[in-house]
Amino acid sequence: MKSNKTRVQKSGMKRPHKSASQHEADSPSGLRFGLAVELTVERLDSDGIGVALHSGRQILIPGTVPQDRCQARITHFGKTVVFADLIKLIEPSPLRLQRCPCSDAALCLGCPLIAMRYGEQLRWKQQLVQAAFDGYPSLKGIVVPRLLTPERQLQYRTTAKLAVAGTHADPYIGIYRRASHDVVDLEDCPLHHPMINTVIKVVRAGISKLKVPIYQDKNKTGILRYLVVRVSESSNEVMVTFVAARRAFNEIHHLARLLQEKVPQVAVVCQNVNSSEGNVIFGAHDHFLTKQQTVQERIGQVELLVSPRSFLQAQNDGARLLYETARDWAGLDGSQQVLDLYCGIGGIALTLAPLARQVLGVELNKDAVADAKRNARLNNAKNCRFEAGDVLELLDDLLEDELRFNCIVLNPPRKGCDREVLDKVAEFAPERIVYVSCSPQTLVRDLDILVAKGYHCEKVQPVEMFPQTPHVENVALLVRKELKIA
């Protein structure tokens, strides 16, 4: 029987520790593995983890906030920092909530800011982005404003990608604990849309009832590896993907049937087959167990059909703020040609389309482009087309065809844009570049390159996409220097 205490499925992979003598040799201050020390947290690192100092050494303590005075136990020595687990709070910080929405935050670490007052979270994120801009002389004039915030700070996540571990008799469904392969079993995650938590409970019970074999990485046996759940708030439908190590007819079909009986909102069930090793969740092949293969979501004024492997922001309100900021800063009046690079399933492109003459979206992922084309038809966006292919190669083709664009939108993955892509973008000499980013560090790196190529960074707007976490999205506007806005 499942207890109320948070459970962690150990991966069996042990982190090597140094001997006590080696620890002491590395640490003149006397810090050693297992030692309990009293510390005061001075700040958060970029991952939202509390940082304290002890005899000149930085100690990271998950689950703490600045000004916490606490007792912590040393657990690991890194190259530059020491890691510790929180034992108890001696004197809680005034920045800390009196009652944290999640009793498991220090163990799970999925939302490291959740114990901090929300206004302080926003202030910290604003300062994080400002520090990134201040690190580049070319961007030092930028003053980062307050974050645009969604209505909800809890129960906002409409997508969850979850690991499945343990055995059918004792299944774990949750997320990997930070810096490990240990799976934290999730009961009622306060960030998840309630329907996701409902699906998790039913699937967990179904695994046990139907004796569904869970994949064991050590000996490569079993079937079920991951559970991916997406909720459409506009249609009140749920899409569930069971990621299996091999095609499993009976087990997954029976589990899907049980899930739909218990949760009638589940409209789409897919079995994805991923037999590869490593931590990539999805494999190449989808097998639908329902006639319906997509759910429909609404972001702002745009309707989007979403398939199992489609990328769509996990926070609908935050996505709307992001899309609308990009639209407002693109400076469109119906006469402009727009190029949207890394367009995904077309959310931003379709938001811009009503105000543009033509929009071309480019994306490497063929499945995403197929979704984007369907979404263009759904929204009757006849001036919006999409092409699949390598961004750099397609930019070369567009330059060779002497096509010109008034506005280029960049929305790359976390690693940012390759230097060659930025070089090609500058060759088009668009009047405006709207850069949408999920990483302040790669954003400012790329903005600095574009500034050196004749652009001026006019402004940036951080957007709160993931409350309770250290993540912050940003939209930046660049204008060609000779067209600089007064």
Listed residue (260, 267, 287, 248) closest to 168, CA to CA: 248
Distances (CA, A) of 113 to 178, 218, 428: 14, 34, 41
DSSP run (H or E) holding 408? strand 407-410
Cβ proximity of 276 and 265 under 8 Å: no
* CA angle at 466 for the pair 60 and 345, rounded to the nearest 5°: 130
**Residue of 54, 85, 88 lying closest to 71 (CA atoms):** 88
Check whether 38 is labelled as a binding-site residue.
no
- Judge whether 363 is annotated as a binding position: yes
Active site residue 102: no
SS3 416: coil
Tell which residue, 55, 42, 90, has the closest CA to residue 69.
90
CA gap 409, 104 in Å, rounded:
40
342 in a labelled binding site: yes
Catalytic, out of 108, 189, 438, 457: 438
Whole-angstrom distance, CA of residue 105 vs CA of residue 49: 12
- Each as own residue / partner, the long-range contacts of residues 77-81 (CB below 8 Å, 24 or more positions apart, any chain) are 77/18, 77/23, 77/26, 77/27, 77/31, 77/33, 81/57
358-363 and 384-388 strand pairing? parallel
Beta carbons within 8 Å of 395's beta carbon, 6+ residues apart: 341, 362, 421, 424, 425, 428
Q: Is 411 marked as a binding-site residue?
A: yes
CA neighbor of 411 nearest in space, from 328, 474, 324, 350: 474
Q: Which residue has the tokens 């520790």?
A: 17
Q: Which residue has the tokens 């590869």?
A: 276
Q: Cβ neighbours of residue 341 under 8 Å, at least 6 residues apart?
A: 362, 391, 395, 408, 409, 410, 411, 412, 421, 425
| Dihedral of the alpha carbons of 203, 233, 272, 290, in degrees to the nearest 10 | 80
Residues making up the annotated binding site are: 313, 342, 363, 411
Residues making up the annotated binding site for S-adenosyl-L-methionine are: 313, 342, 363, 411
Q: Which residues are catalytically annotated? A: 438
